[in-house]
Amino acid sequence: MGWLTMTRLGMAPYETPKAYLDAQLTYERPATGETPFRALRVLKSVYSGSAYYAAVERYDESGARLYVTAIICLVRWNPKAADGHIFGYKDMDEDMGPCEAGCPRSVLELLTSSTHPYALDWRRRCYRLLELTERTIADGDLIRFPEPMQFTDGSRHADFKVRREGRKLTLTLPDGRGRFKISRLLERRFEIIRQPKVARTIFPAA
């Protein structure tokens, strides 16, 4: 499916992409003629600014669960768009094997089992990314990339020391020189080398 774009009037009465998409994925359609009953409800959704991930439950006429699957939407949101089309989205389900694999754990853990190969591959990629982004890097840790990275000044480095200031991470060379910025750092593969902590020796008073 391609992109669907709309104005604020087209989004009405919803003010945000998340609210609009939650509403689109929550409905009941009674059985008519040869068309069976269809119903869907959002159990959990997360909107990151460029992507929307939702665990949606399909249920029958009695309200009993049939299954829970993931819906992924790419989102374009520009409230100041010159042409008035402030919102656009492209939706897909996990069985389509989306490239986007940044689904939060809170959504993934609500999904029921699947045998679809594309869905299984997508879930594996999501969990692998979570393993990377949920790593804890402490102040003073040394991180080592599999291969040296090249920077705009022409230098190449594989080892960096981490300086943590709250949530902000600063990278320097192991000897403390320089300041380096690596985009999407926590999504990259690297080894964390913990620095040994030397206990302070306290000498008893004479």
Q: C-alpha distances in angstroms, 173 versus 65, 81, 141, 148, 163?
A: 54, 43, 11, 12, 11
In a domain, 118, yes or no: yes
* pLDDT of amino acid 22: 98
Considering 133, 160, 183, which residue would you say is the last residue of a domain? 133
Which residues is 42 bridged to in the sheet?
56
In a domain, 120, yes or no: yes
Say which DSSP state 61 is in: T
- Amino acid symbol at 5: T
In a domain, 115, yes or no: yes
Better-predicted residue by pLDDT, 2 or 53: 53
In a domain, 203, yes or no: no
In a domain, 199, yes or no: no
Better-predicted residue by pLDDT, 51 or 186: 51
Which residues is 191 bridged to in the sheet?
144
Average pLDDT (90-99) is 95
Cα 82 from Cα 43, distance rounded (Å)? 35
Out of 9-13, 34-38, 97-101, 163-167, least confident range: 163-167
* 23, 88: one domain: yes
* 57, 107: one domain: yes
* 60, 99: one domain: yes
* Secondary structure class of 101 (helix, strand, coil): coil
* 28, 48: one domain: yes
Using only the alpha carbons of the chain, give its radius of gyration: 24
* pLDDT of amino acid 41: 97
* 52, 80: one domain: yes
146 cis-preceded (ω within 30 degrees of 0): no
In a domain, 176, yes or no: yes
Report the percentage of the chain scoring pLDDT > 70: 93
* pLDDT of amino acid 99: 93
Cα 31 from Cα 130, distance rounded (Å)? 40
* 98, 149: one domain: no
Cα 102 from Cα 182, distance rounded (Å)? 19
In a domain, 205, yes or no: no
In a domain, 204, yes or no: no
* 125, 148: one domain: no
* 150, 55: one domain: no
Total domains, the chain: 2
Report the percentage of the chain scoring pLDDT > 90: 68
**Residue 205 pLDDT exceeds 90:** no
Q: How confident is the model at residue 78 (pLDDT cuts 50, 70, 90)?
A: very high
**Residues sharing a CB contact under 8 Å with residue 77, sequence separation 6 or more, in sequence order:** 17, 49, 86, 87, 88
Q: How confident is the model at residue 195 (pLDDT cuts 50, 70, 90)?
A: low
Q: How confident is the model at residue 60 (pLDDT cuts 50, 70, 90)?
A: very high
* 110, 24: one domain: yes
Structural domain of residue 104, as residue ranges?
A: 4-133
**Element containing residue 144 per DSSP (H, E):** strand 142-150
**Residue 203 pLDDT exceeds 80:** no
Average pLDDT (107-115) is 97
